[in-house]
Structure 1
Amino acid sequence: MGYAIVWLVNTILSLMTWAIILSAVLSWLFAFDVINHRNRFVNQVAAFLDALTGPILAPFRRIIPPLGGLDITPIVAILTLQFLGILFNRISAPFLIQTLG
Structure 2
Amino acid sequence: MINEVLVPILVLFANVITTAVIVQFILGLLISFNVVNYHNQLVSALWTALNAILDPILAPIKRRMPNTGGIDFSPIVLLLLIQVAIIILSYVGRQVG
Conserved? CA contact 1:66–1:72, under 8 Å: no
Question: Hey, what's the Cα distance between the residues in 2 that align with 1:14 and 1:53?
Answer: 13
Q: Which runs of 5+ in 2 are unaligned?
A: none
Q: Which residue of 2 aligns with 1:4?
A: 5
Secondary structure of the equivalent of 2:24? helix
Q: CA RMSD in A?
A: 1.5
Counterpart residue number, 1:16: 17
Partner residue, 1:45: 46
TM-score of the two chains, using structure 2 as the length reference: 0.87
SS of residue in 1 equivalent to 2:51: helix
- Equivalent residue pairs, number: 95
Q: Which has the higher mean CA deviation after the structures are superposed, 58-67 or 11-20? A: 58-67
Alignment of 1:64-83 (within 5 A): 64-83=65-84
Q: What residue ranges of structure 1 are gaps of 5+ in the alignment? A: none
Tell me the residue number matched to 1:26: 27
Supply the distance in 1 between the matched residues of 2:33 and 2:62 (Cα, whole angstroms).
22
Rounded to whole Å, the distance in 1 between the matches of 2:66 and 2:24 is 19
Q: Which residue of 1 aligns with 2:91?
A: 90
Secondary structure of the residue that 2:34 maps to in structure 1? coil
**Displacement of 1:66:** 4.6
Residue 45 of structure 1 aligns with an amino acid whose one-letter code is L
